Amino acid sequence: MARQSFSGLIDLTPALLLTVPLALISPVQAEETPVEPTTTVIEIPIEPVAYTDPAPLEPVTTTTDMPIEPIAETDPTPGEPVLITAPICDPATADCDPDFDDPLSLVPHRFDFGRISPNATSEPQVFALSNDADANITIGTVAVSGDGIMVCQAIGCPVVAPTAFLIQSDACSGVTLTPASSCEIEVLFSPASGGAMTAALRVPYQLADGTAQELNGKLLGSGDSGLNNLAIAGKIYQRAKKGGAKAITPLAGIEVRLSNDMLATTDEFGEYRFENLPPGRYTVTPVSEDYKLRPRSRAAVLKKKDRDGLDFEAKAQ
């Protein structure tokens, strides 16, 4: 058996083992390298979108085979209340004309003769008719009437009494007024009893083209039968803009309550009136579901004179 030879040195020194507590070993702190934020830019081409106006809605036409009968226009029954489209005028101005767009004007358009003792006669009041058109106007027969007048249905409200108002002189009936010309009518008030009374001064006329129309004035007065015949009156109106200017529209059909449980309703001129009242303190309150009224109520003290001008402004709810 051949011997094998070794050409290196073999270190037979026993290995030295050291036991070191873990607490004495300091951990190696690794340095943290900050991470830089990365921004990625992606370019996406955007095609422009052409704007076009939406197609207009086509009108929808509905047809029916049901025959529609025309509505015949009938005159109101005499004596029944008639609601007239509220005119635009300033209720604070006595001479404002409710027929402001009428070619014929009546000044004053309303007149209150005040208190006259029963069977006595007032001073005559002159009403002037003027042609505001560019052509001739022919006046029909002027008359005092009670037909179609809207008054409140309550104690103390004016009663329609056309016989209490008399035409003393009439220079207008049957006359043809040329443009800018005028004529006059004189009216008297002669009550046969006490209480508030009203009537209409009716002026029928015909335009140059043959169209027939009518202009109406309002007459008021009271038969003075004693101290317990005082009155409270006012107007209810709505403000509106017309042609850039403020206009005032009287409101008809508004209910007005007095603190003594009396009721009244505004007429076509937006006016209300309580008559035959004894002296005392009263509160006037208008009531409406369609309008907000300002002020909500007004107080009045009656002694020896009537109380007028208790007005209210209405705004739509």
Lowest mean pLDDT among 21-25, 77-81, 215-219: 77-81
Mean pLDDT computed over 201-216: 94
For residue 102, the tally of other CB atoms under 10 A from its CB is 16
pLDDT of residue 254: 93
Percent of the chain, pLDDT > 70?
A: 63
CB 231 within 8 A of CB 306: yes
* 199/260: higher pLDDT: 199
pLDDT of residue 128: 96
Strand partners, 249: 238
pLDDT of residue 277: 84
Question: With 90 as the cut, is the pLDDT of residue 203 above it?
Answer: yes
pLDDT of residue 99: 43
Mean pLDDT computed over 113-125: 88
Strand partners, 162: none
* 281/3: higher pLDDT: 281
* 317/294: higher pLDDT: 294
Mean pLDDT computed over 11-24: 50
Question: With 80 as the cut, is the pLDDT of residue 244 above it?
Answer: no
What tens digit of pLDDT does each residue of 172-199 get?
Answer: 999 999 999 999 999 999 998 888 899 9
Under 8 Å CB-to-CB from 240, ≥6 apart: which residues? Answer: 88, 246, 247, 248, 249
* 234/85: higher pLDDT: 234
- Quick one: pLDDT band at residue 158, thresholds 50, 70, 90? confident
* 261/14: higher pLDDT: 261
Max CA distance (Å), the chain: 179
What mean pLDDT is reported for the chain? 76
Ordered by where they begin, the domains of the chain are 104-223 (2.60.40.10), 230-316 (2.60.40.10)
In the chain, count of helices (H) and strands (E)?
0, 20
pTM score > 0.95 for this model? no
CB 315 within 8 A of CB 294: yes
Question: With 50 as the cut, is the pLDDT of residue 16 above it?
Answer: no
- Quick one: pLDDT band at residue 149, thresholds 50, 70, 90? confident
pLDDT of residue 46: 64
Measured CA to CA, the distance from residue 141 to residue 172 in angstroms comes to 8
- C-alpha pair distances (Å), 94 with each of 91, 109, 302: 7, 8, 23
Lowest mean pLDDT among 139-143, 150-154, 254-258: 150-154
The DSSP call for residue 162 is G
What tens digit of pLDDT does each residue of 61-104 get?
Answer: 555 455 545 444 444 344 333 333 333 344 334 444 444 468 99
